[in-house]
Amino acid sequence: MNKNIKDNFAVIGLGNPGRKYMPTRHNCGQISVNKFIKNNDQVYKKWKNILLADFALNNQKVFCMQSQEFLNVSGHSYYQLIKEKKITNKNIIVIADDIDIDVGRLIIQNSKSSGGNNGMKSLLRYLSPEPIIKIRIGIGRPIINGKPSYDQKIVSDWVLGKPEPKELIVLKETTEQAALAIETIINYSIEEAMNQFNKIIPG
């Protein structure tokens, strides 16, 4: 490793592979990381069964990853590189959608919990028990007869569905903020990112 590089960071945007799934609510994490990569004039290349963009940022080496496997079994794909590069949990940033957070809200935290996200469960299965950095993007629950739905089929169709036009405007801004939050964490600290971005995004 270059002696000027201080540390390695893993940046993981959870989601399903392929064009069919990219515009869905469940792929907000991947969309955010794609924007972060574009902001830094980087592109993906193939590495084993992930897409990888690796570059230096503020004397840190950043490894942005997108699995080519479906979300609920993607953990080992990411772990292969995390293990090879000896990236510790405190430098793992995972961005994911969260159905229990209102649309437009961004929550950054150190956490050991999957929050019910199957992609997060798959990754945490391979990691040590220390907290990782999570950026949770609110997509809200589907509303049926004026009430939030917990029906498994309805919820599945919701997360794998495309946002409505008004919702899309809010999520576009939220994913842009998430991309900036990634950079803030790497350049400064998670505390700085939490102070800036843990708030309601105007829509």
CA distance 134 to 110: 6
Evaluated on CA atoms 147, 152, 153, 157, the torsion sign reads positive
Question: What's 200's DSSP letter?
Answer: B
CA distance 39 to 42: 8
In this structure, what are the phi and psi dihedrals at residue 199, rounded to the nearest 5 degrees? -155, 170
Catalytic residues: 26
CA atoms within 13 A on the CB side of 137: 32
